[in-house]
A and B are shown apart, each in its own frame.
Chain A
Amino acid sequence: MIVRRIVRWFDERLGAARFVRTALNKVFPDHWSFMLGELALYSFVILILTGVYLTFFFTPGTKEVVYNGSYAPLKGVSMSQAYESVLRISFDVRAGLVMRQIHHWAALIFVGSIIAHLMRIFFTGAFRRPRELNWMIGVTLLLLAIANGFTGYSLPDDQLSGTGLRIMYSVVISVPVVGVWSAFLVFGGEFPGNEVLTRFFVIHILIVPAAIAILLSAHLAILVRQKHTQFRGPARKERNVVGARLWPTFTAKTLGLFFFVFAVCALLGGLAQINPVWIWGPFQPAAVSAGSQPDWYVGWLEGSLRLLPGWELRAFGHEVPNPFFSGVLLPGITFMLLYAWPFLEGRFTKENREEHHLLDRPRDRPVRTAIGVGALAFYAVLFVAGGNDVLASRFNVSVNLITNILRVSLFVVPAAAAFFTYRLCKELAARSPTAGEPEAPAGAELVVRSPEGGYVDVEEPARTP
């Protein structure tokens, strides 16, 4: 009864009951792969929660201080205050290290789940009309997530991330005409300068999270407006959505998933050490460690930088140096293709003439699936190339040999993967034709919402043409 009183209080002031009722009854199709986006969403929530905690203890900036905390090997060593504050969080703030590790593991899972979600959307054709806009918002979210990851792990000012920053600086200055000016403006001068870490801090805790929050809201709003897609199956048609209601069942399911995402991040955060900055040491411009890699979602760029042979353009006193092609052109083309994909495919298949709310099985679209798998293979080879020295050291093989093999693999493996995928799709599709005519099972208890907004219980579902 208290609930009734509260609801009435809000309704008198907002007129919310009608709207909320519609929202509560929204139907969500049921398939496990539709929850991948939620994995990303909940990782983001966990990042915010742990991130806010960390901002209460982290001090950005390069001001030199002398360490006096409990990690003995660095006692008396001078370092930036950013690095010192991360050591303090890790060794002298109760539960600080666990929070920091949960935060970092969640970031790795955040980008991973976005990519898994993107793969589901791609391979089932969910990006087709009318969802091209949401696809582009999603690709932007991926870009922002990667950017926040990079700025985030650069904040502790340790040797490993500092090496990454130096590489980033070099990639920026490789851009023709405006590169050097851009780097000087972003970094406040020559590398390393004293500005970039405080600027990254603002970008990491304010600008990018705000952009993600806004775009995420738009992403979800569009999803609600357009309603979710669904696989073909009994009673499922282009003109309806079949599944569980938002309230109470979907809510319970998704809350459960949130707690599990948090639980997995917490378990990793407590049991698996990540980014032990005290081993890498404080950043020094003339030092570097063997086996330096960026976080996994930047690994493909690292591999690109390692695989491209010593080619660059030089003419009339100007040059377009090597890192431009591997560090700017490659990711630029990657994201351009990602953004453009719905329109490229739509033009080619002429499917953009009508709406699509029923999903494809990947096997029924062999060309798209083969291209997708080929692309994944391409970036997988790049990722492996990013660790060529670790592979060489681990398996006692020449790093030069591995590099050359991967250079060839970069073209052979994706082509082979695409070819085999195409054949596999054809084979699988021939063996299992698509699900039969969409028809509701007899005797189903259905609640149907009419276009005018009312709800009607029906014994037998009306056969819509």
Chain B
Amino acid sequence: MPNTAPDRQSVTKRSPYTRAEIDDLVAYVASLGPGPPIPDVHNPPGDLQEGGELYLDNCAACHSAAGNGGALSVGRDAPTLHGATPVEVAEAVRTGPGNMPVFGRGTFTSQQVNSIVRYVEYLKKPQDPGGLSLGLVGPITEGLVAILVGLGALMLITRWIEPPAMREEPPE
């Protein structure tokens, strides 16, 4: 804030206020009228499995199953979730910033929101038993690795096995 280019995706800027000043501003605005409080992401405690199901049903379409984010129309972006704090995630769900829909109290209970928060936390460091995660981007990176690294290495190996110079040299 203020958003100097409202027709483009808003970017995070450094705040000129201290934490204490922000808390004071929040308290003042809250005194002017009713509004949702800052979500408590620990009570009630979120459930990882429920969070996964809710996330895949409601969030993955924009933010991708791995939380990498995704493209929206005309240059907008559903951002990656890997840098969001649990409170930021819960706040975004409740307020629907930018192009994000609003998931209010009638849509998700606090328990459900906290479950989603828990799953998003998990996505920051998911299990990668298979090795290098390649950014969890999907078949594009997998295909590039298979062709450039796998097939590339094999073509180099075939050249090593059968160097082209071999056929030019007359045998002794």
Contact = CB atoms under 8 A, between A and B. Distances in A.
When A and B assemble into the complex, do they touch directly, with CB atoms less than 8 Å apart? Answer: yes
Interface of A: 30-36, 39, 71-77, 90-91, 97, 101, 105, 108-109, 112-113, 116, 159-160, 231, 233-234, 243, 253, 256-257, 260-261, 264-265, 268, 270-276, 278-281, 284, 286-297, 299, 386-390, 392-393, 396-401, 441-445
Interface centre among B74, B75, B78, B167 (most CB of A within 10 A): B167
Interface stretch (B13-21, B37-45, B93-101, B147-155): B147-155
Contact of A291 (B64, B143, B146, B159): B64
20 contacts: A30-B166, A32-B163, A35-B161, A39-B155, A71-B127, A74-B49, A109-B154, A112-B147, A116-B151, A257-B158, A264-B150, A271-B131, A272-B134, A275-B139, A289-B65, A290-B63, A292-B138, A295-B142, A389-B71, A441-B170
User: Is chain A's interface secondary structure helix, strand, loop, or mixed overall?
Assistant: helix
Top 7 A-B residue pairs of the complex, sorted by shortest distance between their CB atoms: A296-B143, A290-B70, A273-B130, A441-B170, A108-B146, A398-B75, A392-B71
A74 B52 contact: yes
B111 interface: no
Interface stretch (B26-34, B53-61, B82-90, B102-110): B53-61
B140 A35 contact: no
B154 A279 contact: no
B129 interface: yes
A273 B130 CA distance: 4
Contacts of A233: 167-168
A273 B132 contact: yes
Nearest to B123: A279
Contact of A293 (B9, B138, B158, B168): B138
A311 to B, nearest CB: 20
Interface residues of B, number: 64
B12 interface: no
Contacts of B168: 233-234
Interface centre among B74, B119, B138 (most CB of A within 10 A): B138
A176 B56 CA distance: 35
A235 to B, nearest CB: 9
Contacts of A279: 65-66, 126, 136
Contacts of B78: 290
B92 interface: no
Interface centre among B63, B69, B145, B154 (most CB of A within 10 A): B154
Contact of A296 (B48, B68, B72, B140): B140
Contacts of B161: 32, 35, 253, 256-257
B171 interface: yes
A264 B153 contact: yes
Contacts of A260: 154, 157
Contacts of B71: 290, 388-390, 392-393, 399
B60 A73 contact: no
A291 B158 contact: no
Contact of A105 (B65, B137, B144, B146): B146
A284 B56 contact: yes
A120 to B, nearest CB: 11
Nearest to A253: B161
Nearest to B129: A97
Contact of A290 (B61, B127, B129, B139): B61
B5 to A, nearest CB: 14
Nearest to A293: B139
A272 B132 contact: yes
A160 B60 CA distance: 11
B73 A108 contact: no
A289 B61 contact: yes
Contacts of A75: 49
A292 B137 CA distance: 9
Contacts of A257: 157-158, 161
Contacts of A272: 130-132, 134, 142, 145
B158 A444 contact: no
Nearest to A98: B130
Contacts of B164: 31-32
Contacts of B127: 71, 278
A390 B140 contact: yes
B170 A234 contact: yes
Contacts of A243: 167
Contact of B139 (A109, A268, A296, A443): A296
A444 B171 contact: yes
A360 B154 CA distance: 24
A433 B138 CA distance: 46
B165 to A, nearest CB: 11
Given A108-B147, A233-B168, A39 B154 contact: yes
